[in-house]
Structure 1
Amino acid sequence: MIYVFLGSGPRCGLGELVLPENEPGSSIMPGKVNPTQCEALTMVCAQVMGNHVAVTVGGLIADASASFEKNCVRGIEANRERISKLLHESLMLVTSLNPKIGYDNAAAVAKKAHKEGSTLKEAALKLGVLTSEEFDTLVVPEKMIGRLMLSQKLHFTMFYS
């Protein structure tokens, strides 16, 4: 603030203003007058400006959020076919093979599938580490996502089968 600048001194500053000594001075500089009231007003002004910006931005965000919900969120649809394809082609499903075929064989399956651009199932069958039925029994993505309510499991099964 200009008052602090003009009140700087007493010998080396501008010294054009003499600020009231409202509080004790500095603990390391005897005789110094701290511009506490000027600093307090600066802090209050900063808080007021911050509050003003928060309210303004909050209003903008509220309006934008309402528009986004109305014009975008309501129209979003899951590409179920693509989701199912990506889910069943995921190399991360290989972790469910570890208990049956071991880490090294599971890693070989994942590497082969990745290298050849095939599915884990195709790679496992080519490597001869599992039968088709064993793979289908072991690789069930629903079992990998945690606990689900029965209705969610039924929906998931109907949705992805």
Structure 2
Amino acid sequence: CGLGELILPENEPGSSIMPGKVNPTTQCEALTMVCAQVMGNHVAITVGGSNGQFELNVFKPMMANGLLHSLRLLGDASSFEKNCVRGIEANRERISKLLHELILGGEYFFLYLFQKIGYDNAVAVAKKAHKEGSTLKEAALKLGVLTSEEFDSLVVPEKMIDPSD
């Protein structure tokens, strides 16, 4: 995710220099440490299991300890779901804004547009918009290539990224 695409639950103090910013650092970093420890325990258990000779594995206590430690850590870390994951919401307004900027500002949109209005018209629209610092819609309207309604019906980023199209 980029910046501002998710709305996080305010379970911790925010930033002192950025009002409204929520820091999920304690929860996320704690979970990352749990994951690192569990992976380390897994390696130790694997090494212990591979070193059991003559049906007498002297590593069994270490392996059992590593397994029980991992289970306890994972059980305790399950509170992450309640304290962070459960309250996460999508910032639909921000996501929509970024989607429109990405689609309408990229070469993908140019390729999409020229399939609909032809290469020469698409180039003219892109050049005019770039030269005047206007939007592609404004340039298309000024050039008379598309009406406002045609542009709006063509340019629906949610439909443009649909793989079935």
TM range (shorter): 0.3 to 0.5
C-alpha spacing 1:31/1:98, structure 2 compared with 1 (3 Å): closer
Higher relative contact order (CA 8 A, sep 6+): 2
Cα displacement string for residues 36-58 of structure 1 (whole angstroms, at most 9, x for unaligned residues)? 99999999999999774366999
Query: For residues 91 and 3 of structure 2, what CA distance do their matches in structure 1 show?
Result: 70
Identity level (%)? 91
Match of 1:48 in 2: 38
Structure 1 residue runs of 4+, over 6 Å off? 12-51, 56-59
Q: Is the 8 A contact 1:109 1:120 kept in 2?
A: yes
Query: For residues 38 and 131 of structure 1, what CA distance do their matches in structure 2 show?
Result: 49
3-state secondary structure, aligned to 1:50: helix
Equivalent of residue 61 in structure 1, options 74, 79, 85: 74
3-state secondary structure, aligned to 1:30: coil
RMSD between aligned alpha carbons?
22.4
Q: Is the 8 A contact 1:91 1:110 kept in 2?
A: no
Unaligned runs of 5+ in 1: 1-11, 146-160
- Per-residue deviation, 1:72: 2.4
Q: Is the 8 A contact 2:140 2:146 kept in 1?
A: yes
C-alpha spacing 1:102/1:50, structure 2 compared with 1 (3 Å): same
C-alpha spacing 1:57/1:23, structure 2 compared with 1 (3 Å): same
Query: For residues 133 and 106 of structure 1, what CA distance do their matches in structure 2 show?
Result: 17
Match of 1:104 in 2: 120
C-alpha spacing 1:117/1:82, structure 2 compared with 1 (3 Å): farther
Cα displacement string for residues 54-94 of structure 1 (whole angstroms, at most 9, x for unaligned residues)? 669999677657x44333222222222222223333344xx
3-state secondary structure, aligned to 2:13: coil
Q: Is the 8 A contact 1:109 1:123 kept in 2?
A: yes
- Per-residue deviation, 1:135: 0.6
- Per-residue deviation, 1:131: 0.8
Unaligned runs of 5+ in 2: 50-72, 105-112
TM-score (norm 1): 0.40
Query: For residues 31 and 134 of structure 1, what CA distance do their matches in structure 2 show?
Result: 40
Q: Is the 8 A contact 1:125 1:131 kept in 2?
A: yes
3-state secondary structure, aligned to 2:89: coil
**Alignment length (residue pairs):** 130
C-alpha spacing 1:15/1:58, structure 2 compared with 1 (3 Å): same
C-alpha spacing 1:54/1:85, structure 2 compared with 1 (3 Å): farther
C-alpha spacing 1:13/1:40, structure 2 compared with 1 (3 Å): same
3-state secondary structure, aligned to 2:76: helix
3-state secondary structure, aligned to 1:82: helix
- Per-residue deviation, 1:129: 1.6
Q: Is the 8 A contact 1:89 1:119 kept in 2?
A: no
